[in-house]
Chains A and B, each alone.
Chain A
Amino acid sequence: MAATRQRKPNASKEELLGYYRDMLLIRRFEEKAGQLYGMGLIGGFCHLYIGQEAVVVGVEAAAKEGDQRITTYRDHGHMLACGMDPDGVMAELTGREGGYSRGKGGSMHMFSKEKEFYGGHGIVGANVPLGAGLAFANQYRGNDNVACTYFGDGAANQGQVYETFNMASLWKLPVIFIIENNQYAMGTSLKRGSSTPALYTRGEAFGIPGEAVDGMDVLAVRDAAKKAVAHCREGKGPYILEMNTYRYRGHSMSDPAKYRTREEVQKMRETRDPIEHVRELLTLGGDATDEELKAIDKEVRDRVNKSAEFAQASPEPDLSELWTDVYA
């Protein structure tokens, strides 16, 4: 992947501190989720976002009020980044009453109408036409909002993605297709699953502009997202951003990870970590003191611990919940 990481930030100290905090919150939250999973408090599938934090934090930096977002089962980071309450997210992971879906959705299925977060979808590829539908609604209503639609490199091989590209381009829908290319679909590396590795070109046949972005660099992500968002708001139709990124953890919690080497992961962590990158930008430039960063670290850790406590203290849903919300 193109290593174009920025050394001289085109961002204010406040912005950088904000990105740092947001990414760190995701990182620490996910680590805690992994821990709770290990303790048997979280069940089923649980897909962690560790390593990919810059993607969602960078895109969110380009969004405005009313823009929607929709993603896959690897969704905790997206929820935190759009301002959903860590307590509610963690309590959904533990399947408790205080969760966003009152314990009925779980890790892969959470929603917030208030934050325009449309899930959390467990079927690979299915959220892509749904995202275009959100964009369709924006166009129908004549507003200038944009639907940020995230999916993986593996999902990029699903047929419905191309059905959606065609319609989105045909109807000039304000949707950004954000391909989070973390190099693997479960155990299938990009080159074992994709005939052509440049996923950002996948819209060419439909006339959709695409761009490859260093997804480990929050500023590169933000700048690319700003460009894409502007394109959509001007009514020029969809845009594809291929975010080259990397997940440090297994596909889900039960992944023995035999498809890649320890060294590969270690190298990524050491040389490309998105949070370390911003930390460097903040400290090397001399803008932020160690104390400032430590204070953020502590604030984030406390926030995450509080969410873990909430998620364990919140009761399991009442059995009557079994029968509610089947019909409106």
Chain B
Amino acid sequence: MTIQILMPALSPTMEEGTLAKWNVKEGDKVSSGDVIAEIETDKATMEFEAVDEGVIGKILIEEGTEGVKVNTPIAVLLEEGENASDAENAAEAAPKAEPKSEAEPEPNSAPKAAAEPKAPEPATLDPDWPADAPMKKMTVREALRSAMAEEMRADGDVFVMGEEVAEYEGAYKITQGLLDEFGGKRVIDTPITEHGFAGLAVGAAFAGLRPVVEFMTFNFAMQAIDQIINSAAKTLYMSGGQMGCPIVFRGPNGAAARVGAQHSQDYAAWYAQIPGLKVVQPYSAADAKGLLKSAIRDPNPVVFLENEIMYGKSFDVPDIEDLTIPIGKARIWREGSDVTLVSFGIGMTYALEAADKLAEDGISAEVIDLRSIRPMDTATVVRSVMKTNRCVTVEEGWPVCSIGSEISAVLMREAFDYLDAPVLSCTGKDVPMPYAANLERHALVTAQEVIEAAKSVCYR
């Protein structure tokens, strides 16, 4: 059988090229790997190697020819026992049509983040636990610790790994007591090696274990962000659903106090952009506990953003057997009719304080705690804004491409006719975090700014 040698595509973008030089002539014997021609692509001059063995029967395109389309026959190769007339016949045979698929309709031009699990029922004022549940005061720190301990008791595949989590009992004492109870096999001190241990934990999750990776703070997770995004978040998709990655990356996020620019960044908006990740940032101790338990059980990678300042704050936590809070469901903290304040994490402190003050001025603010950033319960926000017709978002992160910007876009799209004022975002200032006490105070978002924004959208 004669073989047509076709003009090859030699780069991902090449459509045609110049047949610069033939290194063989008709009648030459070639074997696999021999350079038979030089071809200029859109990028470089490339040597073109023979794939099959045989004799060059006929050269169809002269050297020096420009604009030779990919897949055009350029020569005919004869196999053992064939002669030149076979080459003639082969040359005349019509070139094989290329099975390239024609342009496809865009699947859906509307922006879509629908690859996400369906959001749970929209939030109401009802808590996520039985109304008659006994309550117990607990700090966020204790809540996080008990969430991990409960999940570790329930599932032997859950383990905790990070810097100073075991013998030192956690840089912020979140893992206190875990080493005593679960031993060194399941509570693992790592060297200072974020990129390495994040990758190692992702590998363990691929193998079916359920790692909880503590970053001393999320500022240091920038060292590991490739593993979080490229390995943890994308592999399920790239494997056509074969390779799950049940892992939690947790630790304090955002500004602490007076620790300067490198230790004070809020990463909510960064991680929220990544399909394949879930992102959670609780405010209350009950949510911290219930969401962390859900995150550990979730089959997907979850970025769990805590806040150092919140660790010591006490909240009522339902004292029930197995408190879980669904990821992707907001919580309405306070009902109101004039303006919707949307926040999450420590931002809730400012939103709630502002709502109290606004009430004194006769403005009734509805306060929504997103709790989950991805998937985000925008349905609850939209429903609230349809009632209040005004919205102010509150977060500690930077203003550009912020969570507030996202909510603003959603409201524009889904509640445009209900808005009586532009959506305003209260954020941290667009600067690296300064050290000086007065400057830091100004760099952070404040309750006063929220009050002013709320009054402004109420035209008061």
Contacts and interface: CB of A to CB of B under 8 A. Distances in A.
B226 interface: yes
A129 B242 CA distance: 20
Contacts of B240: 99-105, 325
Nearest to B239: A111
A316 interface: yes
For A110, A137, A323, A327, the residue with the greatest tally of chain B CB atoms inside 10 Å of its CB is A327
Interface string A251-273: 00111111000100000010000
A11 interface: no
Given A105-B239, A166-B191, A126 B204 contact: no
Given A39-B98, A40-B71, A325-B240, A159 B10 contact: no
B347 interface: no
Contacts of A249: 49
Interface in A215-272: 248-250, 253-258, 262, 269
Interface string A43-81: 111000000000000000000000010100000000000
Interface in B224-262: 226-227, 230-231, 235-244, 246
B243 A111 contact: yes
Nearest to A139: B185
A157 to B, nearest CB: 14
B41 A140 contact: no
Interface residues of A, number: 73
A327 B115 contact: yes
A228 to B, nearest CB: 19
Most buried by A among B41, B45, B230, B235: B235
Most buried by A among B12, B98, B198, B239: B239
A122 B114 CA distance: 26
A196 B299 CA distance: 43
A295 to B, nearest CB: 18
Contacts of B361: none
Contact of B200 (A34, A102, A130): A130
Given A105-B238, A132-B203, A254 B6 contact: no
Interface residues of B, number: 70
Contact of B195 (A147, A163, A262, A328): A163
A133 B70 contact: no
B117 interface: yes
Contacts of A138: 207
A133 B196 CA distance: 10
Given A118-B206, A133-B207, A254-B11, A160 B195 contact: yes
B209 to A, nearest CB: 5
Contact of A167 (B51, B193, B205, B299): B193
A113 B51 contact: no
Contacts of B275: 326
Interface string A317-328: 001001111111
A21 interface: no
A118 B203 contact: yes
B201 A137 contact: no
B203 A129 contact: yes
B304 interface: no
Interface stretch (B54-62, B99-107, B383-391, B407-415): B99-107
Contact of B202 (A38, A43, A104, A133): A133
A73 to B, nearest CB: 12
B239 A110 contact: yes
Interface string A276-291: 0000000000000000
A137 B46 contact: no
A69 B345 CA distance: 41
A167 B196 contact: yes
B237 A38 contact: no
Interface in B368-427: none
B47 interface: yes
Contact of A133 (B32, B33, B199): B199
A129 B195 contact: yes
B68 interface: no
A325 B197 contact: no
B434 interface: no
Contacts of B238: 101, 104-105, 109, 111, 119-120
Contacts of B276: 326-327
**What are the 5 tightest A-B residue pairs by CB atom distance, in nearest-first order?**
A133-B203, A163-B196, A129-B199, A38-B8, A137-B207
Given A137-B208, A167-B191, A326-B115, 12 more contacts: A37-B9, A109-B238, A126-B227, A133-B205, A136-B204, A166-B193, A167-B196, A167-B200, A325-B239, A326-B116, A326-B275, A327-B300
11 contacts: A39-B8, A99-B240, A111-B238, A111-B243, A122-B230, A123-B230, A250-B46, A257-B46, A257-B47, A324-B241, A326-B276
